[in-house]
Amino acid sequence: MPTAAFAALVVLAGGSLVLDAQKPEQQREVKVPGIDVLLKAGWQLFLHDGCRFAVPGSWHADGDAALALAPDGSNISIRAFRITSWSAHKAQIKAAFGHVPVMHEDSERRLWFEIGEKPRIQHYIDVANGSSVCSGLLEIRAATTPHADDTTKRIVESIGPAPDKQPPRE
């Protein structure tokens, strides 16, 4: 990991990584070693129950990183569970929620849709990982979250399986 790329990659208690960009060469994103995720400068990566997700640095996770909260009340909860079939799981989830106002993705890798009504819209995200799923429920307070759409997209894209072991520190 070249030191010119960033000043520090710090592994914190609770399974999180925080990235601080080196100045003046402020890097906007860095690929975290051992994980297929781009981490925006100042964001944190949390690992919980075999899953990973990233949030802005101002968010705080609970003791086991199953829940992270923003100062404005935005939040994400994550958990993993086993499935027998990704297609059957997706069908079951879609049937349980019924009509959803916005379907962002329904692919072989991810199911992402919105539930609720403004101003309390939540994003339901499932990411397949073989015989398990990383499932997240994300609520972004659009009125008080800067760049709410970009923040939502970055968090959703960060959800996925955690590595088998902690990423290396260089």
Q: Are 123 and 140 in contact (CB under 8 A)?
A: yes
CA atoms within 13 A on the CB side of 93: 22
Tens of pLDDT, residues 142-158: 777 778 889 999 999 99
pLDDT grade, residue 23 (50/70/90)? very low
pLDDT grade, residue 49 (50/70/90)? very high
Q: How far is CA 58 from the centre of its chain?
A: 15
* pLDDT at position 68 over 90: yes
pLDDT value at residue 26: 57
pLDDT value at residue 4: 25
In the chain, what are the domains?
49-161 (3.40.1000.10)
Tens of pLDDT, residues 101-123: 999 999 999 999 999 877 778 99
Cα dihedral: 92, 106, 48, 70 (round 10): -110
Show the tokens assigned to 72: 């404005």
Alpha-carbon distance 159 to 46, whole Å?
Answer: 10
pLDDT grade, residue 165 (50/70/90)? low
